[in-house]
Chain A
Amino acid sequence: MKIYENTGNKDTRSGFGAGLTELGQTNENVVALCADLIGSLKMDAFKANHPERFYQVGIAEANMIGIAAGLTIGGKIPFTGTFANFSTGRVYDQIRQSVAYSGKNVKICASHAGITLGEDGATHQILEDIGLMKMLPGMTVINTCDYNQTKAATLAVADHNGPVYLRFGRPKVANFTTENQKFEIGKAVNLTEGNDVTIVATGHLVWEALEAAKVLNEEGISAEVINIHTIKPLDSTAILESVSKTGCIVTAEEHNYLGGLGESISRVLAKNKPAPQEFVATNDTFGESGTPAQLMDKYGLSSKAIIQASKKVISRK
C-alpha cells in the first residue's frame, strides 16, 4: 500500500493563516474579521499586511457574522475567524438568516474544532458543528486534514461563490498531503487502494485512518482510505465506487456520530447501495479537559478505534 510521509507536525490553523496571508496579496476583495482571537486563528500576518481590510470586532461574534454579510454587498469576500463553537452554535441564527438564506459569500473559518482543542474542555470543544452547518441549505462544509490541505482549501474557497464553513483545529498534527496541492471543493481524495474495507475520514482522523490502514495491511487486510474534506456537497460517486469494491465502510470524524459525516454517508448508501457501516465518532457526548492524544483515545477517535471498527465491519459483510 501507498505510505504517506509525515513531513513534520503542524497545526491546521497555521495552514489557514498561511492561505489567508497569500489571499491578501492575490485578491484585493478578500477582507478578514476576527472576534478577539487573532493569534489563535493565525490572522496576524493578514492584519499586519492589510490593516484597512482587517476588522477586529471584539468579543461579539453575532455582530461579526452580520458585518461579514454586509461586506459582501459591496463586493467583498469576508473571512470570519473564531473558534468553531463560536463560529456556529453561538451565531446559528445570524448565519441562517443573514448568510445562508440571504446567499451571502461569507467564509466562516473555524479553528479549535472538535475534542482536540484539549485542556479548555467541553465548553469550547464543539462536536456538533458539522451537523449544524450541513443542515443549512446552500452551505458548503469543509473539514481539512492537515496544514497543506488547509492552506489549499483556504485559497480555494475564495474562488467559490457562496457561503462556506471551513473547519480546522488547534493541535499540531501530521502534515502529509502535498504542498501547493490543488484543492477541489466537493471532490474526495483517494489515499490508498484496497479491497477489503473502505475507510472514509475527514479532518484530523484522516491521518489516524492512514495509520490504521498500515496496521491492517500488516495483518493482511487491505483498506481503501478516502479523504472526504468536503462533507457538503458530498462526493457520493467516490464513496459508492469504493464500497462497490470493498462491500463495507468505516467513517471516521472528530464529531458526534449524530449529524456528522457518517450520517451523510449512511444516507448515500441507503439510497444507492446499502452496505455495513461502522462509525468512528463521539457517542452523543460532550468532551472534557485533557491532552488531545488522551481525549482521542478516551473518546474512541484513534487509529486503534478505526482498526477495531474495520474488523467489525468486515465481519458484518
Chain B
Amino acid sequence: MPNIQKLQDLTTQVRRDILRMVHKVNSGHPGGSLGCAEFFVALYEEIMDRKDHFEMNGIGEDLFFLSNGHISPVYYSVLARSGYFSVDELNTFRLINSRLQGHPTTHEGLEGIRIASGSLGQGMSVAIGAAQAKKLNNDSHLIYSLHGDGELQEGQNWEAIMYASAKKVDNIISTIDLNGKQIDGTTDDVLPMGSIKQKFEAFGWTVVEIEEGNNMEGILEGMAEAKSRTGKGQPVCVLLKTEMGNGVDFMMHTHAWHGKAPNDEQLEIALKQNAETLGDY
C-alpha cells in the first residue's frame, strides 16, 4: 500500500518548488503546474515502473511524455525529487545557460526529458511512436503522456487519436488535464469542445475518468484502473479533472495564473499555505 501521507508531503514540497521557481525569474506557468502536482508525484513515485537512472531509449521501463510543456515547473521539480538530477539545479530555471529551459528540451541533456515540448499538440504522436517502438522491441512496459485540455484544440492531436485506435496502440495511457482553462479564459469561453469523453470514445479509445484529480488516492485508484485497461486492443485515455492553481487559494478558480508568477507578497502567502515538508532546494 502506498504511503499517502508521504506522497502528499512530497506534493506540498513540489508546490513550494513550483512557486519559488517561477517567482525567482518572474515568469513561467504556475497554474497548470500546481493543478498537476499530485498527478506527477503519483506517476513518478507509484505508478510508473522506471529505472533509477536515465537512458534515452527507455527500453525495459515505463516512459512519460509531457505534451503541454509549459507546465515545466512541476515536471522539473518531480524529476529532481525523483533523483534524475540535483534539486539545487531547480535554482537555474529559465536562467541563461540552464538545462531547465522555459519549456522542456532534450537539447541541454537534462536527465528525464526525452522530447522537447512547448509548441502544443505534438506530444501524443511522439508518445504513440514510443509505444509502437516498445511493441517492436517486445517490451511490455507502458507509455504515459499528459496533455492540456485546451491543447486538444490543436488538430494534430486528432490525427494521433484516430491513428492510435486504428493501429491498436494499447500500451499507452494518455491523460488529459481537464482544468477547463486556457490563456484567454475558460475553454468554454475560448472554444467550447463539447464532451471530450464522447470524442475519445467515438475515436475508439477506452476512457477512464478521475473526478478528483487533485486527490492522491483518487489518482492512484484511477490510474490503476487505466493500467488494467491496457493490452486490450484499445488505447486508454484518462480524463483528470483538476483545479488550476490547486493548493494556493488565490490562484484557484481562475485562469489568471496560467502564465503569471507571484510577486514577493503573493509568494509569501502561497508558501504559508504550503509549509515546507522535505526541505526547500
A-side interface residues toward B, CB under 8 Å? 31, 52-53, 55, 57-58, 60, 62-76, 78, 93-94, 96-98, 101-104
- A-B pairs with beta carbons under 8 Å apart, 8 shown: A57-B159, A60-B162, A65-B125, A68-B129, A69-B126, A73-B63, A74-B58, A102-B105
Is B80 in contact with chain A by the CB < 8 A criterion? no
Q: Are B116 and A66 in contact (CB under 8 A)?
A: no
Is B130 in contact with chain A by the CB < 8 A criterion? yes
Q: Are A101 and B136 in contact (CB under 8 A)?
A: no
Q: Are B163 and A97 in contact (CB under 8 A)?
A: no
- The digit string for B132-152, where 1 denotes a CB below 8 A from any CB of A, is 111011010000000000000
Q: Are A70 and B116 in contact (CB under 8 A)?
A: no
Task: For A73, give its contact among B114, B123, B155 (CB under 8 Å).
Answer: B114
Taking CB atoms, residues of chain A closer than 8 Å to B253 are none
Q: How far is the CB of A242 from the nearest CB of chain B, in Å?
A: 36
Is B160 in contact with chain A by the CB < 8 A criterion? yes
Is B182 in contact with chain A by the CB < 8 A criterion? no
Task: For B116, give its contact among A55, A64, A101 (CB under 8 Å).
Answer: A101
Decide yes or no: A74 and B124 within 8 Å by CB, A31-B136, A97-B116 being known contacts. no
Q: Give Cα distance in the complex from A93 to B156, angstroms.
A: 11
Q: How far is the CB of A99 from the nearest CB of chain B, in Å?
A: 9
With CB as the reference atom, state the residue of chain B lying closest to A60.
Answer: B159
Q: Are A70 and B127 in contact (CB under 8 A)?
A: yes
Q: How far is the CB of B187 from the nearest CB of chain A, in Å?
A: 22
Q: How far is the CB of B93 from the nearest CB of chain A, in Å?
A: 19
Additional A-B contacts beyond A70-B128, A96-B119 (8; CB < 8 A): A58-B162, A63-B156, A63-B159, A70-B130, A73-B57, A73-B130, A74-B132, A103-B106
Count of residues in B whose CB is under 8 Å from the partner chain = 39
Task: For B136, give its contact among A53, A65, A67, A69 (CB under 8 Å).
Answer: A53
- Candidate in A60, A70, A74, A104 with the most chain B CB atoms within 10 angstroms: A70
Q: Are A103 and B118 in contact (CB under 8 A)?
A: no
Q: Give Cα distance in the complex from A67 to B122, angstroms.
A: 9
Q: Give Cα distance in the complex from A102 to B136, angstroms.
A: 22
Q: How far is the CB of A233 from the nearest CB of chain B, in Å?
A: 19
Task: For B122, give its contact among A57, A72, A75, A94 (CB under 8 Å).
Answer: A94
Q: Are B124 and A66 in contact (CB under 8 A)?
A: yes
Taking CB atoms, residues of chain B closer than 8 Å to A93 are 119, 122
Q: Are B129 and A73 in contact (CB under 8 A)?
A: yes
Q: How far is the CB of A101 from the nearest CB of chain B, in Å?
A: 5
- Candidate in B106, B122, B131 with the most chain A CB atoms within 10 angstroms: B122
Taking CB atoms, residues of chain A closer than 8 Å to B246 are none
Taking CB atoms, residues of chain A closer than 8 Å to B57 are 73-75
With CB as the reference atom, state the residue of chain B lying closest to A63.
Answer: B159
Taking CB atoms, residues of chain A closer than 8 Å to B162 are 58, 60
Q: Are B130 and A52 in contact (CB under 8 A)?
A: no
With CB as the reference atom, state the residue of chain A lying closest to B115.
Answer: A102
Is B13 in contact with chain A by the CB < 8 A criterion? no
Taking CB atoms, residues of chain B closer than 8 Å to A74 are 57-59, 130, 132-134, 136-137, 139
With CB as the reference atom, state the residue of chain B lying closest to A74.
Answer: B133
Q: How far is the CB of B57 from the nearest CB of chain A, in Å?
A: 5
Q: Are B132 and A67 in contact (CB under 8 A)?
A: yes
Q: Give Cα distance in the complex from A277 to B238, angstroms.
A: 60
- The digit string for B209-237, where 1 denotes a CB below 8 A from any CB of A, is 00000000000000000000000000000
With CB as the reference atom, state the residue of chain A lying closest to B67.
Answer: A66
Decide yes or no: A62 and B156 within 8 Å by CB, A74-B58, A101-B107, A102-B116 being known contacts. yes
Q: Are A63 and B163 in contact (CB under 8 A)?
A: yes
Q: Give Cα distance in the complex from A63 to B105, angstroms.
A: 20
Taking CB atoms, residues of chain B closer than 8 Å to A53 are 136
Q: Are A66 and B126 in contact (CB under 8 A)?
A: yes
Interface residues of B in 140-179 (CB under 8 A from A): 155-156, 159-160, 162-163, 166-167
Decide yes or no: A73 and B163 within 8 Å by CB, A31-B136, A52-B136 being known contacts. no
- Candidate in A31, A67, A68, A101 with the most chain B CB atoms within 10 angstroms: A67
Decide yes or no: A73 and B136 within 8 Å by CB, A60-B163, A66-B128 being known contacts. no
Task: For B106, give its contact among A52, A78, A94, A102 (CB under 8 Å).
Answer: A102
Q: How far is the CB of B56 from the nearest CB of chain A, in Å?
A: 7
Q: Give Cα distance in the complex from A102 to B113, angstroms.
A: 10
Q: Are B126 and A70 in contact (CB under 8 A)?
A: yes
Is B117 in contact with chain A by the CB < 8 A criterion? yes
Q: Are A66 and B106 in contact (CB under 8 A)?
A: no
Q: Are A62 and B125 in contact (CB under 8 A)?
A: yes
Q: Give Cα distance in the complex from A55 to B136, angstroms.
A: 12
Q: Give Cα distance in the complex from A66 to B130, angstroms.
A: 10
- Candidate in B127, B134, B136 with the most chain A CB atoms within 10 angstroms: B136
Q: Are A62 and B159 in contact (CB under 8 A)?
A: yes
Q: Are B106 and A69 in contact (CB under 8 A)?
A: no
With CB as the reference atom, state the residue of chain B lying closest to A104.
Answer: B115
Taking CB atoms, residues of chain B closer than 8 Å to A64 are 125
Decide yes or no: A67 and B129 within 8 Å by CB, A73-B63, A94-B156 being known contacts. yes
- Candidate in A68, A75, A96 with the most chain B CB atoms within 10 angstroms: A75
Q: Are A76 and B136 in contact (CB under 8 A)?
A: yes
Q: Are B137 and A66 in contact (CB under 8 A)?
A: no
Q: How far is the CB of B117 from the nearest CB of chain A, in Å?
A: 7
Taking CB atoms, residues of chain B closer than 8 Å to A55 are 132, 167
Taking CB atoms, residues of chain B closer than 8 Å to A67 are 125-126, 128-129, 132, 160, 163
Q: Are A71 and B133 in contact (CB under 8 A)?
A: yes
